[in-house]
Amino acid sequence: MSDPLFEYLCRMGDNTLVLGHRVSEWCGVAPVLEEDIALANTALDLIGQTQLWLGLAAEVEDAGRDADALAFRRDVWDFRNLLLVEQPNGDFGRTMMRQFLFDAWHLPYLTALMDSKDARIAAIAEKSAKEVTYHLERSTDTVIGLGDGTEESHNRMQAALDRLWPYVGEMFVGDAVDSSLQERGLAPDPASLRPGYDELVGDVFTAATLKRPEDDFAHKGGKTGARHSEHLGHMLTQMQWLQRAYPDATW
């Protein structure tokens, strides 16, 4: 295993990179203009956070790579993102459910990272949390509005929740990388955030008249690179095409 800090920073950057690209796929095709603009802004926020996390990862690695090289010149098995964020958009309801399930973890996690003993990590977390606060507010309102809306919107949101819930557990499963950073006071224990997460999403699901799945089975492997869904490879062929076709090209 490479430097745990490098691995960890790639995890944070890959989460925002992959989700940012997924959300950007709605640009120009969202249900209404307001949502088109909001989704594009969310994607831009996430890509901006990616530049910070992967930029720091490149600095820590000190191997001549920068954030762009880490984003566009790694193969699928080198990515360390959560399986949740690489799942396809589906319909608008599924996209917003995926966003909510991630945001509800992301904001408390960033808040905890503000206490990191590494000032660089704490600074990135503080800046990112300001943006993610809005992300969570918006995804929460949308999930409640659609869940407690029409019969059609309710059914779509319940189907989205049932489909995506098995990817939630991975966010709270720790490993050697997490333990290393926790021991150094750089990052929290992922499992410590689960009770607060369950309370938050439980309240939202109640307001949205949605039923949380009883089975807490969790797909795992994304954050270690041991396993990704087929969807990530297809996404990367689109995202990385230009840089792969014209390596070292400059504007």
Written as one string, the DSSP assignment of 110-133 is HHHHTT-SSHHHHHHHHHHHHHHH
In a domain, 140, yes or no: yes
Q: Is residue 144 part of a domain?
A: yes
In a domain, 149, yes or no: yes
Is residue 250 included in any domain, yes or no? no
Q: What is the CATH number of the domain that holds 230?
A: 1.20.1260.10
Total structural domains in the chain? 1
Would 251 be classed as within a structural domain?
Answer: no
Q: What is the pLDDT along the chain (251 residues), one digit of tens a residue?
A: 579 999 999 999 999 999 999 999 999 999 999 999 999 999 999 999 999 999 999 999 999 999 999 999 999 999 999 999 999 999 999 999 999 999 999 999 999 999 999 999 999 999 999 999 999 999 999 999 999 999 999 999 999 999 999 999 999 999 999 999 999 999 999 999 999 999 999 999 999 999 999 998 999 999 999 999 999 999 999 999 999 999 888 87
Global pTM?
0.96
Residues sharing a CB contact under 8 Å with residue 183, sequence separation 6 or more, in sequence order: none
Cβ 70 vs Cβ 81: under 8 Å = no
* Structural domain harbouring 191: 4-211+219-245
The whole-angstrom distance between residue 172's C-alpha and the CA centroid of its chain comes to 13
Length of the chain: 251
Residue 22, Cβ density class (10 Å: 0-12 exposed, 13-18 middle, ≥19 buried): buried
Residue type, 81: N
Do the domain assignments include residue 138? yes
CA–CA distances in Å: residue 110 to residues 2, 64, 167 = 23, 28, 20
Closest of 161, 160, 168 to residue 219, by C-alpha? 168
The CA-atom distances, in angstroms, between 212 and each of 111, 147, 199 are: 25, 12, 12
Question: Which residues make Cβ contacts (< 8 Å) with residue 75, sequence separation at least 6?
Answer: 236
Cα angle: 38, vertex 41, 46; to 5 degrees:
125
Would you say 157 and 93 are in contact if contact means Cβ atoms under 8 Å apart? yes
